[in-house]
Amino acid sequence: MSHRFTPLIELTLARVREFFREPAAIFWVYGFPLIMAISLGIAFREKPKQQITVDLVGTTEGSRTGELRELLKRDTRFVVHEPTTESWKKRLRDGKTDLVVVASSDPASGDSPWEFWQEPRRAESLLARQAVENLLLKGQGGTVVVIADQELNEAGSRYIDFLIPGLLGMNLMGGGLFGVGFVLVDMRVKKLLKRFLATPLRHSDFLLSVMLSRLLFMVPEILALLGFSWLVFGVQVQGSFLELVAVIILGGFCFAGVGLLIASRATTLETASGLMNLLMLPMYVLSGVFFSSERFPAAMQPLVKALPLTALNEALRGVMLEGESLPALWRPIATLVAWGAVSFVIALRIFRWK
């Protein structure tokens, strides 16, 4: 081999070795595209047969709506649900159903119109409305079908109303993981943790101080985002503002605890970054930040519901969009408390101070 090319080859090999010694770089180049492809592929997977979800409200035997139920059940394209009167609007707004058919005040009368509630900003809803109308025409032998189209115009029915709580949850997750994890790993790299170890300071007090200081910075950030979304997009908080602040603080505590756990053993910033991204990026897709987590198969729902970001988004949307109280949201709140408390206890036991 020519002596001229030896330095070039050796420098190239050195750069390749450096690359493979950085977990964060390996993750972003190889892991991230695969995770996104798998997650989005499952969420927006192609189905061998089109499925249209229709909710029937006020169905009674012998009524026109009852006859429609039988027509829908005979067509394999349709999945029929019969929710309570109080829950169907939430299902339509959250994307859990494509169309809602409400029984008219006089269901026995052939002249009263069908009430079709749809979400015009979703293509699936418009498609469902057309499919059900065609089915009715076919079932009635081509007789004209009178339909009263209805749209959800109440607070919280827009996509931006759905999106803002997801962005709040995503911000809380990123702030907790990076705001706590990076600080501690940086202190370990700079040998500052060894100095705290030599003092009579209790370990739990030091770690809690890092978490609490991050919360103090995080709450104003979230409130600023809420204020901006209210001023610019008119996003309203339907529930108690104090309960919303409580959920925000609980979410910040939860992810600060998870960030503490990730940082408990990492010795380099690159390792901490890789671990945090490995945890965060799947939750960006699975936990319903940009679209409903109901898109994922039923077999995946227990895993999706157990994720802390899913619980936080559910609690935030419950307070902001539904006006629900904290006792009514006990399941996602219990999930957040469990993640935060367990992470902190484990991190306290295995934390590396040197």
What pairing do the DSSP bridges indicate for beta strands 99-102 and 114-118? antiparallel
Spell out the residues 6+ positions from residue 190 whose beta carbon is closer than 8 angstroms to its own: none
Spatial CB neighbours of 266, under 8 Å, sequence gap ≥ 6: 181, 185, 188, 272, 275
C-beta of residue 71 within 8 angstroms of C-beta of residue 139: yes
Tokens 């994890």 belong to 181
Q: What is the pLDDT of residue 342?
A: 92
269: nearest Cα among 15, 9, 22: 22
pLDDT means per 10 residues, the chain with 354 residues, are 62 70 62 66 57 76 67 79 73 76 58 72 76 76 64 66 86 84 82 78 79 80 84 83 90 89 81 79 81 76 88 90 86 92 88 77
Structural domains of the chain, ranges and CATH numbers in brackets: 52-151 (3.40.1710.10), 159-350 (no CATH)
pTM, entire model: 0.68
Angle between helices 330-350 and 203-233 (to 10 degrees): 140
pLDDT at 4: 57
Contacts of 307 (CB under 8 A, 6+ apart): 283, 286, 287
Structure token pair of residue 83: 């929710």
* Res 107: pLDDT: 46
Residue 289: per-residue pLDDT: 82
